[in-house]
């Protein structure tokens, strides 16, 4: 039980603590800061075995504050200054930066530091997922569909660049904001996706990641200077998807596909919030991939039943999305939609154009789609063959069970 609480708080508090400590004594000490935060959670894991504190978050804050002071005193450059400063003054300063509005401000600064132009785009994403959302190397690799060793190298390079270039812990200038925001939104988008359809071995859904992505977006939307149509569209998209989380699995923790989901479980107050955000998004001239993806999600939400889904409209939105930003996943989704429309030749043509290697850990989706193509062609032997390939490529236990059950059904036909 205590480990679950620690894991939950780690996801929600890690980014906050890193941002606060960096604001206190600088980006040059980022490695030490991450060690300090890790120490805090290790201490929590050990001490909470006997008793969980009444207010776990307050406990973590207190330990982090004390650890901040310990680390500051250990930094050689600060040594003489801290010998002359009373402990009370240091504590008061620390108390100030742990105020709610200061925590939010620190996190926003951290988001933009992670997207600093001195860092390569791929390094920006890896670094941000690590420092802001607390992803480990394996989780980042899964989210970005690349090898874990590559992620470790990118994180190391990012930290070295930050120290070497003496990057400051501050907001970008007005003329840099939009460019940085584009990368920020991509990071938030990846965080949400890992929560909505996790690559974790035992969990399909991670509500904590979805919540973290939504929370960070709301932080940005609080500041008028960061608002944009793209950001509102991203917020709408996440609200639409999050409204369906409770219907994605059943009481036995088994996957329920969209066709069989209980639509009465969809959380309509969140859909309403998404609709309001989408209306605001349309007040701006620029149209982004988030606009199109939100439009697709909205089409699913509009349909009272799966049979009432307007697949032609969804195909139109996917086509627009692909024109704006071609991607392998959009191709795969277009193939899936064409199967729903019984455009089998079109679906096959799209599938044959897809580079499976680009799907990395999600390659099983390709084989699963091809299996459904063969089902519609009434070629059960080939459908089962594709499902076998999908099962071999699947790392998530729930998805593997889903595919195995699907295979059993096909064998009985």
The Cβ of residue 326 has, within 10 Å, a number of other Cβ atoms equal to: 9
Cα–Cα dist 58/66, whole Å: 12
Q: Taking 90 as the threshold, does the pLDDT of residue 398 lie above it?
A: yes
Give the SS3 label for residue 249.
Answer: strand
DSSP states of 333-366 as a string?
Answer: HHHHHHHHTT-HHHHHHHHHH--GGGGGGGHHHH
Quick one: average pLDDT of 88-108?
A: 64
Whether 405 contacts 399, CB under 8 Å: no
DSSP states of 136-166 as a string?
Answer: -HHHHHHHHTS-HHHHHHHHHHHHHHHHHTT
Cα–Cα dist 59/350, whole Å: 54
Which is higher by pLDDT, 175 or 363?
A: 363
Whether 213 contacts 192, CB under 8 Å: yes
pLDDT in tens, 198-208: 877 788 898 87
Quick one: average pLDDT of 8-17?
A: 75
Helix (H), strand (E) at residue 57: helix 56-74
Q: pLDDT value at position 84?
A: 47
Which is higher by pLDDT, 61 or 289?
A: 289
Q: pLDDT value at position 117?
A: 86
Phi–psi pair at 48, nearest 5 degrees: -80, 0
What percentage of residues in the chain have a pLDDT greater than 90?
Answer: 49
CA distance to 92, 122, 246, 265, 386, per residue, from 307 (Å):
61, 41, 21, 18, 26
Q: pLDDT value at position 5?
A: 67
CA distance to 7, 28, 36, 162, per residue, from 158 (Å):
26, 12, 19, 6
Q: List the one residue out of 330, 321, 332, 241 whose CA is nearest residue 289.
A: 321
Q: Taking 90 as the threshold, does the pLDDT of residue 2 lie above it?
A: no
pLDDT in tens, 250-281: 988 899 999 999 999 999 999 999 999 999 99
Quick one: average pLDDT of 16-38?
A: 82
Q: pLDDT value at position 75?
A: 61
CA distance to 10, 27, 74, 75, 90, per residue, from 85 (Å):
32, 22, 14, 15, 7
Give the SS3 label for residue 50.
Answer: coil
Q: Which of 172-176, 240-244, 251-255, 348-352 has the weakest average pLDDT?
A: 172-176
Two tokens at 137?
A: 């190397």
pLDDT in tens, 121-159: 888 888 988 888 788 888 888 777 778 899 999 999 999
- Spell out the SS3 assignment of 255-308: ECCHHHCCHHHCCHHHHHHHHHHHHHHCCCCCCCHHHHHHHHHHHHHHCCCHHH
Q: Where are the domains of the chain?
A: 324-413
Cα–Cα dist 253/255, whole Å: 7
What percentage of residues in the chain have a pLDDT greater than 70?
Answer: 90
Whether 248 contacts 205, CB under 8 Å: yes
* Full-model pTM: 0.82
Quick one: average pLDDT of 335-341?
A: 98
């Amino acid at each position: 039980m205590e480990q679950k609480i620690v894991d939950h708080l780690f996801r929600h508090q890690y980014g906050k603590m890193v941002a606060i400590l960096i604001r206190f004594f600088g980006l040059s000490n980022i490695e030490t800061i991450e060690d300090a935060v890790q120490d805090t959670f290790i201490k929590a894991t050990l001490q909470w075995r006997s008793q969980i504190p009444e207010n776990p978050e307050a406990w973590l804050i207190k330990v982090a504050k004390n650890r901040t002071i310990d680390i500051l005193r250990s930094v050689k450059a600060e040594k003489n200054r801290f010998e002359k400063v009373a402990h009370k003054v240091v504590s008061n300063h620390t108390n100030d930066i742990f105020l709610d509005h200061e925590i939010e401000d620190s996190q926003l600064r951290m988001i933009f530091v992670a997207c600093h132009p001195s860092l390569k785009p791929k390094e920006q994403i890896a670094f941000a997922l690590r420092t802001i959302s607390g992803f480990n190397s394996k989780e980042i690799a899964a989210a970005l569909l690349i090898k874990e060793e590559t992620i470790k190298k990118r994180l190391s390079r990012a930290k070295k660049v930050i120290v070497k270039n003496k990057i400051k812990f501050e907001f970008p200038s007005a003329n840099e904001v939009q460019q940085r925001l584009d990368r920020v939104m991509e990071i938030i988008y990846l965080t949400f996706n890992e929560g909505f359809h996790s690559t974790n071995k035992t969990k399909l859904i991670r509500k904590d990641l979805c919540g973290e992505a939504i929370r960070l977006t709301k932080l940005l939307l609080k500041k008028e200077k960061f608002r944009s149509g793209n950001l509102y569209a991203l917020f709408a998209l996440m609200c639409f998807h999050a409204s369906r989380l409770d219907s994605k699995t059943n009481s036995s923790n088994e996957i329920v596909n969209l066709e069989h989901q209980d639509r009465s479980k969809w959380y309509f107050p969140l859909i309403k919030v998404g609709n309001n955000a989408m209306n605001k998004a349309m007040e701006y001239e620029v149209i982004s991939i988030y606009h199109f993806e939100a439009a697709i999600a909205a089409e699913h939400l509009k349909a009272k039943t799966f049979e009432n889904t307007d697949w032609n409209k969804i195909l139109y939105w996917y086509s627009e999305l692909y024109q704006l930003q071609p991607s392998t996943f959009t191709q795969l989704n277009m193939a899936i939609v064409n199967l729903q429309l019984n455009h089998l030749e079109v679906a096959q043509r799209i599938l044959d154009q897809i580079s499976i290697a680009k799907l990395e850990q999600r390659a099983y989706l390709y084989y699963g789609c091809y299996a459904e193509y063969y089902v519609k062609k009434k070629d059960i032997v080939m459908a089962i063959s594709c499902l076998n390939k999908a099962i071999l490529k699947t790392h998530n236990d729930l998805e593997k069970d889903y595919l195995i059950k699907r295979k059993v059904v096909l064998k009985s036909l």
